[in-house]
A and B are shown apart, each in its own frame.
Chain A
Amino acid sequence: MIERVEQPALEVEGLTVTYGREPALWNADLRLGQGALAAVVGPNGAGKSTLLKAALGVVPRVSGRVRVLGVDPARKRRLVAYVPQRSSVDWDFPTSVLDVVTMGTYGRLGWFRRPGRSERAAAMQALEQMEMADLAGRQIAELSGGQQQRVFLARALVQDAEVYFMDEPFAGVDAVTEQSIASLMGRLAQHGKTILSVHHDLATVPRYFEHAVLLNRAVQAVGTVKEVFHRSNLDRLYGGRVPADVPELASV
């Protein structure tokens, strides 16, 4: 009888990226099981966004290997979804909320095929999940920061992937949006989806995430928040500058 081996949802081995001569990411190793809800934390310039982009193939890697459920995501794009930083696009682009969310279906449509009724229906459904359905026809230039973030999350939901890469989904959103993003992440994880999310606010890591990836060019620690999100680890990660008021750390 063949023993069933637990397949890691995301497996990153020896991932190295350089910008010019500077290494941005150095030999990063990382393994997350299905349903893991992981925060990537680390100081500025630690390569957090680069880790996501390199895993997705958005920036070229010098070396390394990425597997999603054992498959190279470059061969099967449908396994991954991406929420880029909100500030990375021009929100004055002439398009509507529904249109942006529909872009989440472009990958499975492939070259040349245009989105049709079923793609727009899927986009509407994702907007409903983000409580944005009433804004479907709105110009994206008229959205608030929190609404922009929900649009990006809805677009990732439409991708219906296995691993979700999110770059600072909580950046600059109000408390209500923060809550709805957190609960969306929780629901995705409950359905066995894996989330790797760059996160800046150390104080909320234990509240919103179960796993943490401590990154500074190289991965310094990966594990559950309980295991690795310690003051000693964080002080080392940030070079001893972690403010003392980060709650839920002292207990360890």
Chain B
Amino acid sequence: MSWPWVALDPTLIVVAAGTSAVGAVSGALGCFAYLRRQGLVGDVVSHSALLGVVGAFVLTHAVTGSASRSLAVLVPGALLAGTAALMLARSVSIRTRLKDDASLGVMLSIFFGGGLFLLRWVQRQSPPIPGHTGLEDYIFGMAAAMTRADLWMILALGGCATVALLLLWKELKVFTFDPDFSRSLGFPARLLDSLTMALLVMGVVIGIQTVGVILMIALLVTPAAAARQWTSRLSTMVLLAATFGAGAGAGGALMSASEAGLPTGPVVVLLATATFVVSLLLAPRRGVIARAQSRRAMRDLPPPAAGRTS
């Protein structure tokens, strides 16, 4: 196959644009999750989203008689389930002696298990609910199913998240770095915490169709971790993570389209991981190789003068 086939296939353009938008948004938002050490929170949201997605599908079928698999229906379900899981985990942590990670882990299992259970129930309905065959793709991701409407949905949500990030950049930055200090300045912590959570949930939810609920966490954390290797500026880190995410997204879409049978989600995640490994090894100053070199340079230095040691 030669290069121009990309330009000739409008479906593929939609898919590639969608996956790269997903990668960019989740890469950028993932930086804040990474810096606040809330990777697990993202994982809970994405796993829980399965229950929301299948639930929304069942509900639309029950109410309207025709089930829909469009993002406009499934995203609100995923948002609801992800938020509910987080709120339940938080209230468990507050009311019991359970640590945060334990209560988050419990909610992840309950919601994901519930999602799998409901999915199997949907698949066993007779007569079969039309459209149910694509639902299991949410587990591992299926970018090829992306429609033009889905792309608009992704762009709209991603645009909202970007605007929020730009408007509240300073507030999010000080809150992420030093929450107590930001509170002492009069920025309400609960509001900023909810906002960062909402952004995280948004970043997860628009990506689950592409990457799937299981691997979504990789698209949040990996570009951020890779970007952190190259820069010590938050703005550069966010831009770089967005770029890495977009690259992995577009690359994954194109590769899985060119080679039949390659699943998009895993390919996107593997590409992001490759970026991460390269960053981990090669980044100046923070990279493994640079650090080994500077250690060697330290060893070769003459010992400090006798007068300065104590």
Spell out A's residues near B (CB within 8 Å).
Answer: 53, 56-58, 74, 77, 80, 82, 84, 88-90, 93-96, 100, 103, 106-107, 109, 111-115, 139, 141, 155, 165
Contacts and interface: CB of A to CB of B under 8 A. Distances in A.
A115 B170 contact: yes
B232 A139 contact: yes
Given A94-B233, A114-B170, A88 B180 contact: yes
27 contacts: A56-B183, A58-B180, A58-B183, A74-B186, A77-B185, A82-B181, A88-B178, A90-B35, A90-B177, A93-B177, A93-B234, A94-B35, A94-B232, A94-B234, A94-B236, A95-B177, A95-B234, A96-B232, A100-B177, A103-B173, A103-B177, A103-B178, A106-B170, A111-B168, A114-B169, A155-B181, A165-B184
Contacts of A103: 173-174, 177-178, 181
Contacts of B267: none
Given A58-B180, A88-B180, A93-B35, A107 B232 contact: no
B231 interface: yes
Contact of A95 (B183, B187, B233): B233
B175 to A, nearest CB: 10
Interface string B209-236: 0000000000000000000100111101
Given A82-B180, A93-B177, A103-B177, A111 B232 contact: no
Interface of B: 35, 167-171, 173-174, 176-178, 180-187, 228, 231-234, 236-237
Contact of A84 (B168, B178, B231): B178
B80 to A, nearest CB: 28
Contact of B184 (A56, A90, A114): A56
A155 B177 CA distance: 13
Nearest to A49: B180
A109 B170 contact: yes
Contacts of B180: 53, 58, 82, 84, 88
Nearest to A103: B174
B177 A57 contact: no
A151 B188 CA distance: 24
A112 B168 contact: yes
Given A95-B232, A115-B170, A141-B232, A89 B177 contact: yes
A54 to B, nearest CB: 11
Contacts of A57: 183-184
Contacts of A80: 184
A109 B170 CA distance: 10
A155 B184 CA distance: 13
A111 B192 CA distance: 12
By CB atoms of chain A within 10 A, which of B168, B180, B181, B228 has the most? B181
Contacts of A115: 170
B181 A77 contact: no
A62 B232 CA distance: 40
A113 B166 CA distance: 11
Of A82, A89, A94, A114, most B-chain CB atoms within 10 Å: A94
A57 B170 CA distance: 20
Contacts of B167: 112
A89 B184 contact: no
Contact of B185 (A53, A88, A95, A106): A106
A119 to B, nearest CB: 10
Contacts of A96: 232-233
Contacts of B184: 56-58, 77, 80, 82, 165
A155 B181 CA distance: 10
Contacts of A139: 232
A96 B35 CA distance: 15
A108 to B, nearest CB: 9
B201 to A, nearest CB: 22
A95 B176 CA distance: 12
A102 B178 CA distance: 13
Contacts of A107: 185-186
Nearest to B176: A93
Contact of A94 (B181, B186, B237): B237
B194 to A, nearest CB: 15
Contacts of A89: 177-178
B185 A111 contact: no
Nearest to B227: A94
A199 B234 CA distance: 33
Contacts of A113: 170
Which residue of B173, B231, B232 has the most chain A CB atoms within 10 A of its CB atom?
B232
Nearest to B37: A90
A95 B231 CA distance: 9
A94 B231 contact: yes
A89 B181 CA distance: 10
A114 B235 CA distance: 14
A27 B171 CA distance: 33
A95 B35 CA distance: 12
A159 B184 CA distance: 11
Contacts of B171: 106, 111
Contacts of A95: 173, 177, 232-234
